[in-house]
Structure 1
Amino acid sequence: MKEFAYDRAHDIPTALALLARDPDARYLGGGTNLVDLMKSGVERPARLVDVRGLPLDRIDRAPDGSLRIGATVTNSDLAAHPDVRRGWPALTQAVLAGASGQLRNMATVGGNLLQRTRCAYFTDLASPCNRRAPGSGCPAVTGEHRNHAILGASAHCVAVHPSDMAVALTAFDAVVTYETEDGPGETPLADLYPPVGDTPHRETALPPGALITGVTLPPAPVAARSRYRKVRERASYAFAIGSVAAALDVSDGRVRDVRLAFGAVASRPWRARTAERALIGGPATPAAFTRAAAAELAAATPLRDNAYKVPLVRNLVTALLIELAGPTTATESAGPTEGAAR
């Protein structure tokens, strides 16, 4: 590991100034991703600015019903918070599915959003990788890509974003707040990760030196009836090969509101707006759920070995929406595709 300087910041202006002083500095939260990458040589910061001591460790309910989550809140505290469990249960489920208890106790909300891909070519210094070394190529396109992207990828990168938490936050229109030396800013989480295009090394839309200070979840009554479902290759702690965050409000057999986001299918959490538009106002039936999921996945461009993700995610969506719609819908007749979702 390369030698590095270490500073501990106790207020936001100090943290920003310390990072601005050194172009090779990085903020340090829980370190559960950054330190691993430093050990392997992928990350080589000259200075770490520890931000765990900043006053950003609270979760507060605002008068308008929104929830404000500080950037240094640990994943464990986020998952256990009563307001999150009641109002956004899919977020609790996503966080609990995302890592072991030990990692959740250390990992922070801000750090979780900034974790980097787990693509094996990215973490292998002997391999080319456009994220790590722009212009060097993406060997995953023709190499090992079973767990890689089927939506929104490009010839320059087919890696997926690893966060479970970010998928649930994306489904509920979360907004990321940040500070820079020029003042505060905010961006919808859906816009935090730019399309991969031909610049996969540009992993966020944050200004240089920006410090994430928190995440705001706007009020959304539908979020109280939500679930997160994750498929992985082993039952123990593992990254998703496909996941869905879903919320559903049904009245008189028709969909009044729905939220859908997919994980492990793109370089960023994938908000399924095509599927949402197809469902709102329509019947809450297994066939309708499957058609909506298929409409979203029509844009998929699978690689040689990951086409399985298309039916996997389609069936996840169908099964999860059936569960949320309740027993009446779940017992309705379903065709072969809907039945397979169970």
Structure 2
Amino acid sequence: MKEFGYQRPGKVREALTLVAGEDGARFLGGGTNLVDLMKDGIERPTRLVDVRRLPLDGVRAAPDGGLVIGATTTNSDLAAHPEVRRRYPALSQAVLAGASGQLRNMATVGGNLLQRTRCGYFADPSQPCNRRMPGSGCSALAGEHHNHAILGWSEHCVATHPSDMAVALTAFDAVVHYETLDGRHEIPLSAFYPPVGETPQQETVLPPGALITAVALPAAAAGPRSCYRKVRERASYAFATVSVAAALDIEDGLVRGVRIALGGLASRPWRAHTAESALRDAPATADRFGAAADAELSAARPLRDTAYKVTLARNLIKAVLTELAHRAE
């Protein structure tokens, strides 16, 4: 491992100053992704700025009635928070599905949003990878890609986004708060991850040296009828093959409100706007749920070994929405 500097500031401004102007500086939260990448030689920071002493943890009420989640809040604390469990249950379920207990105790909310793809070619310095070395090519296109993207990919990258938490946050219209030396800023999570396009190495729209300080959940997105379901290759800790975060409001047998986000299918959490539009004011029936899933997945472009994901995603969307409809009864 390459030698690096290490500092542990107590104030946000101090942390921002420590990384300013140094391309190799990185913020360190729980380290559950970054440290692994350092061991593999994928990340080679010149300086680590540990943010765990910063006053950025905890979950508090927002002025609009929503919740504000501090960036250094651990995944375990987030999943167990009574207001998260009561008002945004899909988020709690997604966090619990995302990692082992040991990892959840270390991992932070801000770090979770910034974790990098788990594509095997990205993690192997001997293989071409446009995310790791722009212009070198995408080995997964013709290689091992059975767990890769079917939506929104390009010939430059077919990897999927690894975060379960981010899928649920996308369904709830979360907003990311961050700071730079210029001040405080915010951006909807739906715009936080750019399309993969020709620049897969640009994984977020955060400016250099920016520090995530919180994630806000709007009150309008709250509701007890939401859930997160994840299909994975083994029952223990594993990344999603396909996942669905959904919330459903039904009145007089009709869908009055619906939120759907998908994981394991694209380079970023995929908000299923087409399916949502097809369902609003429609009968809350299994057939309609299946038709809405078909409409969303009509844009899928399976690779050689990923066609099964279309069927799997369709069935999972239908099953989750049907379960939520039964709860409404």
TM-score normalised over the length of structure 2: 0.99
In structure 1, the residue matched to 2:65 is 65
Give, in whole Å, the separation in 2 of the partners of 1:165 and 1:15.
25
Q: Does 1:237 align with 2:237?
A: yes
Question: How far does the alpha carbon of each residue in 1:101-143 deviate from its partner, in whole angstroms, 9 at most, with x for none?
Answer: 0000000000000000000000000000000000000010111
Which residue does 1:79 correspond to in 2? 79
Contact 1:222–1:257 (8 Å) recurs in 2: no
Map of 2:152 onto structure 1 = 152
Separation in structure 2 between the aligned mates of residue 165 and residue 115 of structure 1, nearest angstrom: 11
CA distance in 2, matches of 1:224, 1:2: 48
* Per-residue deviation, 1:63: 3.5
The aligned runs of 1:1-342 (5 Å cut-off) are 1-220=1-220, 223-326=223-326
Whether the aligned pair in 2 keeps the contact of 1:180 and 1:209 (CA below 8 Å) is yes
Deviation, 1:83, is 0.5
Q: Is the 8 A contact 1:172 1:223 kept in 2?
A: no
CA distance in 2: counterparts of 1:163 and 1:102, whole angstroms: 17
Where structure 2 has 5 or more consecutive residues not aligned to the other structure, the ranges are none
Task: Quote the Cα distance in structure 2 between the aligned partners of 1:88 and 1:244.
Answer: 14
Calculate percent identity across the aligned residue pairs: 71
Q: Note the residue ranges of structure 1 that are not aligned, 5 or more in a row.
A: 330-342
The aligned amino acid for 1:29 is G
Alpha-carbon displacement from aligned partner over 1:167-188 (angstroms, at most 9, x marks no partner): 0000000000000011111110
Q: Residue 326 of structure 1 aligns to a residue in which SS?
A: helix
User: Is the CA contact (8 Å cut-off) linking 1:8 and 1:53 kept in structure 2?
Assistant: yes
Q: Distance in 1 between matches of 2:222 and 2:276?
A: 13
Q: Distance in 2 between matches of 1:221 and 1:135?
A: 40
| Cα distance, 1:65 vs structure 2 | 1.1
Asked if structure 2 preserves the Cα contact closer than 8 Å seen for 1:222 and 1:249, the reply is no
Using the TM superposition, give the Cα deviation of residue 240 of structure 1 relative to its aligned residue in structure 2, in angstroms: 0.6
SS at match of 2:176: strand
Deviations 1:277-317 (A, max 9, x none): 00010000000000001100000000000110001011001
Q: Contact 2:16–2:181 at 8 Å: present in 1 too?
A: yes
Contact 2:227-2:247 within 8 A present in 1 as well = yes
DSSP 3-state at the match of 2:140: helix
Provide the secondary structure at the position in 1 that maps to 2:13: helix
Match of 1:266, SS?
Answer: coil
Measured after TM superposition, the shift of residue 222 of structure 1 is 5.3
Cα distance between partner residues in 2 of 1:52 and 1:177: 17
Contact 2:290–2:315 (CA under 8 A) maintained in structure 1: yes
**1:328 Cα deviation (Å)?**
8.6
Following the alignment from structure 2 to structure 1, what is the Cα–Cα distance between the partners of residues 181 and 21? 12
The number of aligned residues is 329
One-letter amino acid of the counterpart of residue 119, structure 2: C
Contact 1:222 1:248 in 2 (8 A): no
Equivalent position amino acid for 1:33 in 2: N
Cα drift, residue 62 of structure 1: 1.9
**SS of aligned partner of 2:315:** helix
> What amino acid is aligned across from residue 28 of structure 2 in structure 1?
L
One-letter code of the match for 1:309? K
Aligned-partner Cα distance in 2 for 1:315–1:28? 39
Contact 2:250 2:328 in 1 (8 A): no
SS at match of 1:223: coil
Local SS of the residue matching 2:227? strand
TM-score (norm 1): 0.95
| Contact map agreement 1:242 1:312 (CA 8 A) in 2 | yes
Measure the CA separation in 2 of the matches of 1:267 and 1:304. 18
SS of residue in 1 equivalent to 2:144: coil
1:209 to 1:327, Cα distance in 2 relative to 1, 3 A: closer
* Distance in 2 (alpha carbons) for counterparts of 1:77 and 1:296: 34
Q: Is 2:172–2:221's contact at 8 Å kept on the other side of the alignment?
A: no
Change (3 A) 1:98 1:188: same
Name the residue aligned to 1:337: none
Amino acid at match of 2:197: G
Partner amino acid for 2:208? P
Q: Superposition RMSD on alpha carbons, in Å?
A: 1.0
